Chains A and B, each alone.
Chain A
């Protein structure tokens, strides 16, 4: 079955959790015991409606404060697809969670409160989904019930958003507008009688018709070696397989490949998945590859096609999203994890901070704080093999790890 991962974005109280709860309810994905729990708690809180956000806010602190603090993953499926929706927190200080949610999603729902329209936060949500090159964006104009399902208000918000869209640099993004009421269920799963002027699809219809292959950004095939398989049994005495996941494009038996960094050439001999052998390894499949020649390849190395080399360099500039409470300062050193490869990286130059609301850049910066986004040049102790993020979502991204705390402190997108 196809799997579609969707991230939600919106300010606090725009209705993200309610929308997800509504989708679960209308697709009959809430089991009776979960529904009972929601009914019970809604009643205890004195509500005269069902508070669907209770279906997703899983931590005690979240239920007490009535807000989403950490990303939750919600699952449901229809006849055609399995869906994974990330319910992300909406506070300004939680930008890092949004970047995280968007990084693993192929689609995003940006919620706008119809009473408030496009606000500064909306700019941020759009900016991040654009920065991370999320292919499908739904702009759900929510709480339409509170504005009498007014077509004028919907059109005004849409027009405001379209102005914002002119500022994006990822033009291939598909953007769709839908007027909804998460609380009442209009245009979420079922078509609304209250919006006769809206001729488009409901939120779920839209996702149902998406081809999941299309929402993955295509690039050239990259095969980072995760693990070398050497059984050393009698039956497989000389077997030497390279285990990993194929990104960007496909690889086939007979393809001429180069192993990086050694630049040794060989040909793909076999492609295995468990005990089956295949002619072609498709995008995103976890396989084991053997080569015609006995060359030296280890974890962190990469197999690529001979005529399709990535950039091999010890220095690059990237847009980074800083996620730690300790500042990033010029000269600082971090462990840089690029896929399954790890090197040491030094912050060479912080060029400028980028305001994630499209309000411009800020130069002469010496430090980055939590939730800052900036353009930074790094110097590495060893070369890595990368593509620009705009050409390759996987091979153009990395994370930064603080070697003292071991925490993941930042994410980067190579320019």
Chain B
């Protein structure tokens, strides 16, 4: 028997506490699962929170249809191995139903279309709490986010009128129709997540590690060449490069980085030495300085 728990990561203690509060305070929570490293970390934390019982809520993936195939394969395997319940809702369906319109052209992406599909799914299942893997260090509008963040009937975030959060106490009281977005790893940095994945031997999709890939350059960033999904000009030449992904979103908005980090230890080392932020490789934030704040107001993750 190990002696005491004092060496346990304080951030892990905090996250487990938050996840347990969700299970206790809400009727129908759900864990928003993207297949990325942050949501995979959340799954591990949720397992820890309720062991030896199963995670008492389902996972939900809002599938844009533009995900990396590796991510989807990984998702399905994880869910099966852990015996979890997975709900999938497709952006393609929202497009087919005419609820959202597909973007076209050079910077087109389905990333912002996810919001409609997400809000519809929340309404369909009457979810009252959605656990997400957003971190405050990712982006400066996210730095303002509460741990329990209330969304109105339209899923919107009222950033100037947020509830104060004192000590450890989380106020999850809401009106019918409202829901709360919960961010258990709010206080983690990118490096904290990677170090945790290393320490806990958590499996993650292969695209986070160095591999050769058909890519092309645009605006100084490296894009995966998949002509079905990612728009490409004729003069943008495809070349094979040794790359990995630091963050995993849609193929159309997630750029790769040149890297030979083939295992978790080298990835952690690379992040430690990195001089560019994680979201520097996401075109969705570069659209404008206030891009994230705007999307969050409308109900984005």
Q: Give me the interface of A with B, judged by CB distance under 8 Å.
A: 1-3, 31-34, 37, 41, 55-61, 63, 69-75, 77, 82, 84, 96-97, 99-100, 103-104, 226-227, 229-233, 235-236, 239, 241, 243-245, 250, 271-288, 299, 323, 335, 337, 339-340, 393-394, 397-399, 401, 403, 406-408, 411
Contacts and interface: CB of A to CB of B under 8 A. Distances in A.
Given A245-B13, A339-B168, A56 B4 contact: no
16 contacts: A32-B280, A33-B276, A55-B140, A57-B140, A82-B192, A99-B164, A103-B166, A227-B23, A231-B54, A236-B53, A272-B51, A278-B3, A282-B8, A285-B8, A337-B169, A339-B168
Nearest to B172: A406
A113 B3 CA distance: 49
Interface in B3-36: 3-6, 8-14, 16-17, 20-21, 23-24
Interface range on chain B: under 10, 10 to 19, 20 to 34, or 35 or more?
A: 35 or more
A37 B291 CA distance: 14
Interface string B172-213: 011100000000001101011000000000000000000000
A82 B189 contact: yes
A74 B143 contact: yes
B187 A73 contact: yes
B48 interface: yes
The 10 A-B pairs at the shortest CB distance, nearest first, are namely A58-B140, A282-B6, A280-B4, A33-B280, A231-B53, A286-B16, A285-B5, A31-B277, A406-B173, A274-B48
Contacts of B153: none
A103 B167 CA distance: 5
Interface string B151-175: 0000000011011111111010111
Contact of B166 (A104, A276, A403): A104
Interface class of chain B by DSSP:
loop
Contact of B168 (A245, A281, A403): A245
Contacts of A337: 169, 171
Interface of B: 1-6, 8-14, 16-17, 20-21, 23-24, 47-54, 136-137, 139-144, 159-160, 162-169, 171, 173-175, 186-187, 189, 191-192, 274-277, 280, 289-290, 293
A235 B53 CA distance: 10
Nearest to A271: B5
Nearest to B200: A274
A34 B20 contact: no
Nearest to B135: A75
